[in-house]
Amino acid sequence: MSEFKELEKGFLNTLLAIEDSLDKIIIVGGWCPYLYSKYLWRKAIPNIPTTTDIDLGVLETGSQRFDHTVYDRLKEAGLVVERIYEKESHK
């Protein structure tokens, strides 16, 4: 399996782990060009840039809070948290 296919699998597993909250979450950052080309435009774009990290934006939820945090859901799904920078907090 190519490295990109493995990254895509991780991306999709991430979405599955938080699927009941997707109406409050927006994908932002480096995965957007790939998602637009593959799922919106349905056009292959050679060497489209992506990143290995997945950036999630959470919509304003007001007084409503996630009973089970997104972070806890990702950990329970077995998704690994990796430091990008040496001094980055690892919570």
Q: What are the angstrom distances between the C-alpha of 66 and each of 59, 62, 72?
A: 12, 11, 10
Mean of pLDDT values over 11-24 = 88
The per-residue pLDDT for 1 is 44
| pLDDT score for 85 | 67
CA distance 29 to 54: 7
> By three-state DSSP, how is residue 26 classified?
strand
| pLDDT tens profile 43-90 | 988 888 777 788 888 887 677 676 778 788 888 888 877 766 677 665
